[in-house]
């Protein structure tokens, strides 16, 4: 779609759902900020002071929110703790938390910590097949003793896309606060967080947004909650107009900006700045359409040529995100063998091979070549000879 905007690594890269490739604009933005640091030293803060806030309109467009409802800061886990500290207030009979048995572990760790703090239960919605969720099971878990639920927009293992608007509406009709982990959808799937009424959301920018390893995360808080003081407070969340008065009374910045804690990492924000400039020129609807085309093409080729691999990603366009999950008992060996042949997939223990044909830079030809190599490996058994080594992600 816009492969020319990216510095593609050698070979075929199908792991953009773990770490996106580098946009040329990200490199240029970091170099520009480095030059400012070299030239201006501390006086560079005249330019950098409001950098995170300046990115809010671009981020808001990605997630369907107002600029004052989003901020680039922290990480998913840190931002989740910050929002739980603000919103999770067990009252009366409502005290328990709900997530899913297929959530990314870090989300579960954070929720466990808050459940323990308030002597509450963290209830994990089970999966019937170990890969996907039934939305009726989610609704059944939203009982009248639940205070807050956190759900993934896209399940990180299988690529299932949940009905954000529908589940948000149902949760709130039952008196349950609802938040979303959008790590595996932002930059791949259009969002409407504000219009859906979602209470909060967290996500990263290093997957489909391509802002680099460890890029600052994203935080969304619906404006109806902006009258609350942040449960966790730091000096960078202070009102910018009086921040350098160094008063010991916290005056929150307006909106989501109040959820910043320490001094922001300017060079990391610069990479995000460059990455977002790519999306500023694109139609998110066209990105989504291209993503669906590529994943459909991949699934059709797997059906036709790789019957040994079982697709566990939902087939319906409205129920799948940007990657395809394939189950095989030798998935790890296949992943390693692909990497040895300059094709980068993703492995998830114990038996899932994830392939992410990213709309912005992958092609049908790359998908076809990957399927061809997988067929060769399965026919020859060559993958069994590959030595495991290094980090398998």
CATH number, residue 293: 3.90.1150.10
Is the pLDDT confidence value at 388 over 90?
A: no
Task: Please tell me which residue, 107 or 393, carries the higher pLDDT value.
Answer: 107
200 found inside a domain: yes
The pLDDT of residue 92 is: 87
Mean of pLDDT values over 267-272: 98
Number of domains in the chain: 2
**Three-state SS for 123?**
strand
Same domain, 100 and 156: yes
Pick from 260, 279, 298: which residue ends a domain? 279
Quote the tokens at residue 14: 């199908």
Show which residues are catalytic: 104, 181, 206-207, 354
Cα separation, 58 vs 239, in Å, equals 22
Number of Cβ within 10 Å of residue 234's Cβ equals: 17
Same domain, 45 and 57: yes
**Three-state SS for 207?**
coil
Same domain, 228 and 307: no
Mean of pLDDT values over 307-319: 98
Task: Please tell me which residue, 91 or 283, carries the higher pLDDT value.
Answer: 283
Pick from 234, 253, 279: which residue ends a domain? 279
Q: What do you get for the CA distance between the two ends of the chain, in Å?
A: 26
207 found inside a domain: yes
201 found inside a domain: yes
Query: Residue 186 CA to chain centroid, in angstroms?
Result: 6
Mean of pLDDT values over 205-221: 98
**φ, ψ (nearest 5 deg) of residue 124:** -105, 120
Same domain, 210 and 294: no
Estimate the crossing angle of helix 266-279 against helix 24-40, to 10 degrees.
140
CATH number, residue 66: 3.40.640.10
Give the whole-number percent of the chain exceeding pLDDT 90: 97
The pLDDT of residue 386 is: 83
Cα separation, 269 vs 320, in Å, equals 30
Q: What is the pLDDT of residues 59-92, one digit of tens each?
A: 999 999 999 999 999 999 999 999 999 999 998 8
Range of the domain at 106: 24-279
Pick from 221, 253, 279: which residue ends a domain? 279
1 found inside a domain: no
pLDDT tier for residue 389 given thresholds of 50, 70 and 90: low
153 found inside a domain: yes
Same domain, 191 and 339: no
Q: What is the pLDDT of residues 95-148, one digit of tens each?
A: 999 999 999 999 999 999 999 999 999 999 999 999 999 999 999 999 999 999
**φ, ψ (nearest 5 deg) of residue 177:** -65, 140
Same domain, 102 and 177: yes
Is the pLDDT confidence value at 304 over 90?
A: yes
Same domain, 218 and 134: yes
316 found inside a domain: yes
The pLDDT of residue 392 is: 47
Q: Tokens 């093409």, residue?
A: 297
Mean of pLDDT values over 315-325: 98
10 close to 342: Cβ distance less than 8 angstroms: yes
pTM above threshold 0.75: yes
Mean of pLDDT values over 232-258: 97
Cα separation, 291 vs 310, in Å, equals 20
Same domain, 309 and 257: no
Q: Tokens 């990497």, residue?
A: 339
89 found inside a domain: yes
Instruction: Name the strand (E) or helix (H) holding 105.
Output: helix 105-117
Same domain, 238 and 294: no
């Amino acid at each position: 779609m816009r492969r020319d905007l990216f510095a593609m690594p050698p070979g075929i890269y199908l792991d953009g759902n773990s770490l996106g490739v580098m946009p040329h604009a990200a490199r240029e933005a970091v170099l520009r900020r480095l030059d400012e640091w070299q030239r201006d030293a501390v006086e560079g803060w005249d330019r950098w002071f409001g950098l995170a806030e300046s990115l809010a309109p671009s981020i808001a467009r990605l997630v369907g929110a107002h600029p004052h409802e989003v901020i680039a800061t922290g990480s998913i886990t840190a931002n989740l703790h910050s929002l739980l500290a603000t919103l999770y207030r067990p009252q009366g009979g409502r005290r328990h938390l709900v997530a899913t048995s297929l959530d990314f572990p870090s989300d579960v760790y954070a929720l466990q910590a808050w459940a323990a703090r308030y002597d509450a239960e963290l209830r994990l919605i089970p999966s019937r097949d170990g890969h996907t969720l039934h939305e009726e099971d989610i609704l059944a878990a939203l009982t009248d003793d639940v205070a807050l639920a956190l759900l993934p927009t896209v399940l990180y293992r299988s690529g299932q896309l949940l009905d954000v608007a529908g589940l948000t509406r149902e949760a709130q009709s039952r008196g349950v606060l609802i938040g979303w982990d959008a790590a595996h959808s932002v930059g791949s799937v259009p969002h409407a967080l504000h219009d859906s009424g979602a209470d909060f959301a967290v996500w990263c920018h290093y997957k489909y947004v391509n802002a680099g390893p460890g890029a600052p995360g994203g935080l969304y808080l619906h404006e109806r909650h902006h009258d609350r003081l942040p449960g966790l407070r730091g000096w960078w969340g202070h009102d910018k107009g009086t921040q350098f008065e160094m008063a010991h009374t916290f005056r929150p910045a307006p909106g989501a900006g109040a959820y910043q804690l320490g001094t922001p990492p300017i060079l990391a924000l610069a990479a995000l700045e460059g990455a977002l400039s790519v999306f500023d020129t694109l139609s998110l609807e066209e990105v989504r359409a291209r993503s669906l085309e590529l994943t459909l093409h991949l699934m059709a080729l797997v059906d036709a040529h790789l019957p040994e691999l079982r697709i566990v990603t939902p087939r319906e366009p409205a129920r799948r995100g940007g990657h395809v999950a394939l189950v095989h008992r030798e998935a790890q060996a296949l992943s390693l063998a692909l990497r040895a042949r300059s094709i980068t997939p993703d492995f998830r223990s114990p038996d899932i091979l994830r392939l992410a044909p990213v709309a912005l830079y992958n092609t049908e030809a790359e998908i076809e070549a990957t399927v061809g190599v997988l067929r060769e490996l399965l026919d020859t058994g060559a993958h069994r000879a590959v030595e495991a080594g290094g980090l398998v992600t």
